[in-house]
Amino acid sequence: MRIDFQPGDYREVACDLLAYPVFEDEAKTFSPLEPLNRITRGAVKSVISSREFKPDLHQICRICKPAGLKARNLLLVGAGNRSKFDPAKLRELAGIVVRSAKSRACKNVALLCRGIPLTGLASRLAAEGALYGDYELDIYKTRDNEPRNVEILQLLFDRRAARKEVEEGIRRGIITGEATNYARTLANEPSNILTPAQFAERAAAMGEQAGLAVQVLEREELERLGMNTLLAVGRGSDEPPKLIVLRIKGQEKRRARQPLYALVGKGVTFDSGGISIKPSEKMEEMKGDMAGGAAVLGAMLALAQLHPRRAVVGLIPAVENLPSGKAVKPGDVVKSYLGKTVEIINTDAEGRLILADAIAYARTLGAGCIIDIATLTGAIGIALGHVNAGVLGTDQRTIDRLRRNCSVTGEKLWQLPLDDEYRKAIRSEIADIKNVGNRAGGAITAAKFLQEFVEDVPWVHLDIAGVDLDNDGRPFACKGATGFGVRTLVNLLE
Ligand code: BES
Ligand code: ZN
Ligand code: ZN
């Protein structure tokens, strides 16, 4: 899809679909819609007064062969309450427009940025949303219809920032949009395809293209280093575990002056629970238990192209958690890479085990700030539903910055506490720590476990288990992996 921009006399734009955002209050006062209504000979008023179209957020109404326009179709798009319209909504509208266009096989599409000046940010978000909406989950469909691709999306505007700024916004939006879709592709892959080895191979291939140095630590190396909590999780599977490390080429010099940011993503390519096996209902969703790792790969792909000032390293412990005669068992004690011993009470609390070693390894690489992202606990979904991801940690400045960015990233974060008192739940009788507490505060005790391995390094933990997957369907995206976290991480670091 090519994304372009031009001044917006929408009457003159010859395209397959012209999208025209409408705010809720305009359906009542109507006067701002009068010019369009006049041109289309009353078509707009007619669909609004008949209630065929209500400009609630995300509602759409298509008018075929509208009078007075050169466009083949006019798409009215509900923009909701004007006072609640934040930049992230523009991203969603762009996604809706692209999806509607695809469903009607419209190739040439124009989106009128009404009342919103086309700034660098606005153009970036529109581009991101367009690519997000364009993404389909169809690679395993052998009998599908013809691909219906939007070939060109034109952003029409009344007012715009400097041309350079808009061009740069679009360029950046395409980079983050593609990186988010890349993460979605990985998280949607079934686990028979995306094994830990395949995960590492994809990382290497992507790194080669994007200019990242990718190193894969193999099982023997992990054994030599003593990464036993990572190895313990992988032991039940025939697929050997890997630790994937990604660096941006050319950043070596910068490290002395500023902290190295380590992005650590949980990469469990399938989580059966291991010996503490999960119920079979919805177990198939656990192919996406590497969504945190996918977000780190996506973020690194984008950052490689955005040349951030901050130095970044990505780490992804990749394993498959299965039961077998070799699998780790409840009650087993293992010594982590950091040296702390862990009693594994529940083999289904495997994410924190692999992250523990990856986090400790990040510290040996000199990380001055650790950000981990993981589908870590079912409890976070119970606490926050599918709207906000949980954020916890010790680096309050970074947490505040991440939360401030939410209105732009569209990825909502809600902070949970980390008081010392929660530590008690993971005290072990036999080892330094055990890997689960009781059910109370499950997302917090999971983070407390990670904190044992972070120690004094400034740290942020993102628990994305409630938001990594969309089963309900949203009008601006296909169902499946959401790619949550790519935009949050990129926005923080670029
Ligand atoms: N991968 C799961 C968490 C999860 C649950 C992700 C639902 C996405 C949707 C994690 O490894 C897990 O199984 N956690 C356990 C921890 C428990 C044993 C303390 C959980 O949340 O039940
Ligand atoms: Zn688990
Ligand atoms: Zn898991």
DSSP assignment of 345-414, as one string? S-TT--HHHHHHHHHHHHHHTTEEEEEEEE---HHHHHHHTTTEEEEEES-HHHHHHHHHTHHHH--EEE
Cα–Cα distance between 217 and 93 in angstroms, integer? 42
Above 70 in pLDDT, residue 422?
Answer: yes
Above 60 in pLDDT, residue 166?
Answer: yes
Q: What percent of the chain has pLDDT over 90?
A: 91
Give the strand pairing for 108-113 and 17-23: parallel
Q: Which residue has its alpha carbon closest to ligand 1 atom 16?
A: 349
**From the alpha carbon of 375, which atom of ligand 1 is closest?**
6
Q: Which two tokens stand for residue 236?
A: 């039940």
Pocket test for ligand 1, best of 277, 287, 342, 348 (most atoms within 8 A of CB): 348
pLDDT at res. 433? 98
pLDDT at res. 255? 55
Q: List residues near ligand 1 (CB under 6 A).
A: 271, 289, 346, 348-351, 375, 377-379, 436, 442, 465
Q: What percent of the chain has pLDDT over 70?
A: 99
**Residue-averaged pLDDT of the chain:** 96
- Strand stretches in 416-468, DSSP E: 433-434, 459-463
Ligand at minimal distance from the CA of 267 is 3
Compute φ and ψ for 304, nearest 5 degrees: -60, -30
Q: Report the predicted TM-score, pTM, of the whole model to 2 decimal places.
A: 0.97
Ligand at minimal distance from the CA of 436 is 1
Compute φ and ψ for 13, nearest 5 degrees: -85, 115
**Confidence label for 280 from pLDDT (cuts 50, 70 and 90):** very high
pLDDT tens profile 242-261: 999 999 998 877 656 789 99
**From the alpha carbon of 271, which atom of ligand 1 is closest?**
1
Q: Which residue has its alpha carbon closest to ligand 1 atom 7?
A: 378
* Rounded distance from Cα 425 to ligand 1 centre (Å): 17
Q: Which residue has its alpha carbon closest to ligand 1 atom 3?
A: 377
One-letter amino acid identity for 222?
A: L
Active site residue 184: no
Active site residue 104: no
pLDDT tens profile 362-384: 999 999 999 999 999 999 999 99
* Rounded distance from Cα 244 to ligand 2 centre (Å): 20
Above 70 in pLDDT, residue 209?
Answer: yes
How are the residues of the chain apportioned to helix, strand and coil, as percentages rounded to the nearest 5? 40, 25, 35
**From the alpha carbon of 435, which atom of ligand 1 is closest?**
19
Half-sphere exposure of 165 (CA within 13 A, CB side): 10
pLDDT tens profile 465-494: 999 999 999 999 999 999 999 999 999 999
pLDDT at res. 155? 96
Q: How many CB atoms lie within 10 A of CB 194?
A: 25
CB burial class (10 A; 0-12, 13-18, 19+) of residue 109?
buried
* Rounded distance from Cα 134 to ligand 3 centre (Å): 29
pLDDT at res. 146? 72
pLDDT tens profile 42-88: 999 999 999 999 999 999 999 999 999 999 999 999 999 988 888 88
Q: How many CB atoms lie within 10 A of CB 131?
A: 25
Q: 106 near 18, Cβ under 8 Å?
A: no
* Rounded distance from Cα 248 to ligand 3 centre (Å): 28
| Residue 179: C-alpha distances to residues 62, 80, 136, 489 (Å) | 31, 28, 15, 11
pLDDT at res. 87? 83
- The whole-number average pLDDT for the span 403-431 is 97
pLDDT tens profile 130-165: 999 999 998 999 876 677 899 999 999 988 889 999
Q: Which residue has its alpha carbon closest to ligand 1 atom 22?
A: 378
3-class DSSP assignment, residue 434: strand
Which of 172, 352, 434, 487 is catalytic? The answer is 352
pLDDT at res. 381? 98
Which of 278, 310, 412, 474 is catalytic? The answer is 278
Above 90 in pLDDT, residue 210?
Answer: yes
